[in-house]
Structure 1
Amino acid sequence: MFALKLGAALVLGLLIGVDRQLRHKPLGIKTSMVISVASCLITMVSIEAATALPIPA
């Protein structure tokens, strides 16, 4: 499941990067892909940590 989500983030980051490249905006394809995957990974880790670690009452 993690790989599927990271793959989707990679593809969406690629699409964002291509769009920005075609419009001659700063921030390239690789940078968009890295940012998308890193954001997805951080979000998935934080969700897993929140569900795995109980909050003390």
Structure 2
Amino acid sequence: MNNEQLTWFKSSYSGGEGGECLEVAASPDTIHLRDSKTPEAPHLTLAPSTWAAFIGVFK
């Protein structure tokens, strides 16, 4: 899946002034992560279980 086919979201904790933000897009079988400063660069793709484990560390 390429960047144009994904719907990217920033955290509600991200400010509107830009800066260093992680953007996330979900598709049926994968979670995609990218740097908001370079959205055209390649992005990281994870299994949903890996993303859930990552998020769980911060709860």
TM-score normalised to structure 2 length: 0.26
Larger-gyration structure (1/2): 1
The structure whose residues are more often strand, as a share, is 2
Q: Larger helix proportion, structure 1 or 2?
A: 1
